[in-house]
Structure 1
Amino acid sequence: MKLHEKVIGSGPTHVVFLHGLFGQGKNFGGIANDISDIATSHLVDLPNHGRSPWTETFSLDNQADAVADWIADAFDAPVALVGHSLGGKLGMRIALRRGELLDRLMVVDISPARNVSAAEFVNLVAALRQLNLDEVTSRSYADEALTELIPTDRIRRFLLQNLRHKGDSWSWLPNLDLLGDHLHDVGGWPRIEGVYDGPVLWVNGGRSPYVQPEHLAPMRELFPRVLQLTLKNASHWVHSDDPDAFVTVVRHFLTEL
């Protein structure tokens, strides 16, 4: 599977960014620009997202395998990987199952555990499915149509970045039906054997419910070299809530860890 990527920067370290559910690689564009002197950033659209191909089935491991195969084909040496939310789960499973592909791993606001907060996406997906694309005449029309069902402006406009206009028709970039039907799998963490002994930086948002104290033990069991850091002013979208601090953390991850 040839995943869609955007490459930013020309620094010596190759770093792959993996976004969260219903995101796109371009969500990390500002971060990539700010580290372009030390890194070449590969902003990847996950399978079933953005401009990457769709799959017929969904599991964390088959999605991780698609990304791992792409990394193996694209690079001659291990790379650094930064994964947020769903991207962090895929990054962890790549590290545990094909650790030779990674030089280091940064996991952003997600844990090797079932994430109860992922349940919020059930209502969001239901709202998106209710939008009649045949009636959409503009992005602002779609925004207004979804306001009652998704009242939080930030979340609604983030999701509407996935609405594509081509000719006279509108469609969703992500595989909305497949992802919506597998939200339980997205939020889960199937049992996995093995240990990744490379350096791991675990960055959490202080105002996010996704990482809980009871997640520390399983994280340390799977990733014995993990270092945990909390950005106290950030919610789940750590890189957009506190971008300056996040850039500082990424720079440390790439040069000091």
Structure 2
Amino acid sequence: MLSHTDIGASGRLPPLLIVHGLFGSARNWGAIAKRLSDDRRVVTVDMRNHGSSFRAASQSYPDMAGDLAQVIETIGAPMDVLGHSMGGKAAMQLALTQGELIDRVVVADIAPVAYGHSQSHLVRAMRGLDLRDLSARSEADRRLAATVEDAGVRAFLLQSLDLKADPPAWRLNLDVLEREMDRITGWPGTEGRFDGPALFLSGALSDYVRPEHREGIKHLFPNAKFARIPGAGHWLHAERPREFEAAVRAFLERPSGG
């Protein structure tokens, strides 16, 4: 089963499962998970080939959804699910194929479509990072800056670098992620329908969820609502964490008796 972190205890609201995106991990969501755990149990996972979870030959959405289903069935269904980017697509796949496991779903800055861009250049940058005699994250950042210009992206990637390992190592299965990149940026064309509450929450500065995607989203998620966070891009939870948390909390809230 996926490695996961459990925060909080049973509360008035159903448990919440948080699913990170490509190159991420449960640790990226620690602060938000802790704040959302004031009235519920919150579980964050490391997806396959990420963090402390198992290594596998596939990164397909049916396989990732199956991993999430196993976690939910172990904890107790139904759960609310929040997924970002790759994690959002895995959450959508699960909702469309095993919707009985999910009560409400939040899909953060991603649509059920195939994207033309690739993140393979980041795989190459991480693989090309000289890890010899590396003991400080600041030095890793300096070296990575030669191939990754954006400081925010470098900071995000470096959260998956284990400097305590001997020698330092990435907590990512880079070979499989590169080989499976077309599947990750793609979408399997899954049919189905999730009639439960769904929120598609986007960054106002991001172009991942476009107006032309809405018809397809509503076909699969008839009760979908849409919201955008001003000043946020694709990594909206990191760029505007308080606004992100407030939007998620408002959507997942139930009346006191419900």
Q: TM-score normalized by structure 1?
A: 0.93
Aligned to 2:5: 6
Aligned to 1:253: 251
**Partner secondary structure for residue 15 of structure 2:** strand
Q: Segments of 4+ in structure 1 off by > 4 A?
A: none
- Using the alignment, how far apart are the partners of 2:222 and 2:134 within structure 1? 50
Aligned to 2:131: 133
What is the CA RMSD across the aligned residues, in angstroms? 1.6
Give per-residue Cα distances to partners, 1:5-50, cap 9 Å, x unaligned: 1122223320000011001112122212222222211011111111
Question: CA 1:166 to 1:240, structure 2 compared with 1: closer, same or farther past 3 Å?
Answer: closer
Please report how far the alpha carbon of residue 85 of structure 1 lies from its aligned counterpart in structure 2 after TM superposition: 0.4
Query: What one-letter code is carried by the residue in structure 1 that aligns with 2:150?
Result: T
Percent identical across equivalent pairs? Answer: 39
Question: CA 1:191 to 1:225, structure 2 compared with 1: closer, same or farther past 3 Å?
Answer: same
Please report how far the alpha carbon of residue 98 of structure 1 lies from its aligned counterpart in structure 2 after TM superposition: 0.7
The correspondence of residues 201-212 of structure 1 with structure 2, limited to 5 A, is: 201-212=199-210
Query: What one-letter code is carried by the residue in structure 2 that aligns with 1:210?
Result: Y
**Partner secondary structure for residue 169 of structure 1:** coil
Aligned to 2:72: 71
**Structure 2 stretches lacking a partner, 5+ long:** none
2:222 is the alignment partner of 1:224: yes
Please report how far the alpha carbon of residue 65 of structure 1 lies from its aligned counterpart in structure 2 after TM superposition: 1.1
Moved more, 162-171 or 54-63: 162-171
Please report how far the alpha carbon of residue 87 of structure 1 lies from its aligned counterpart in structure 2 after TM superposition: 0.4
Question: CA 1:115 to 1:51, structure 2 compared with 1: closer, same or farther past 3 Å?
Answer: same
Q: Answer whether contact 2:130 2:143 (CA < 8 A) is retained.
A: no
Equivalenced residues, count: 253
**Partner secondary structure for residue 18 of structure 2:** strand
Q: TM-score normalized by structure 2?
A: 0.92
Please report how far the alpha carbon of residue 72 of structure 1 lies from its aligned counterpart in structure 2 after TM superposition: 1.4
**Structure 1 stretches lacking a partner, 5+ long:** none
Please report how far the alpha carbon of residue 167 of structure 1 lies from its aligned counterpart in structure 2 after TM superposition: 4.9
Query: What one-letter code is carried by the residue in structure 2 that aligns with 1:130?
Result: G
Please report how far the alpha carbon of residue 169 of structure 1 lies from its aligned counterpart in structure 2 after TM superposition: 1.0
Q: Answer whether contact 2:200 2:224 (CA < 8 A) is retained.
A: yes
Aligned to 2:193: 195
Aligned to 1:244: 242
Moved more, 123-132 or 209-218: 123-132
Moved more, 160-169 or 21-30: 160-169
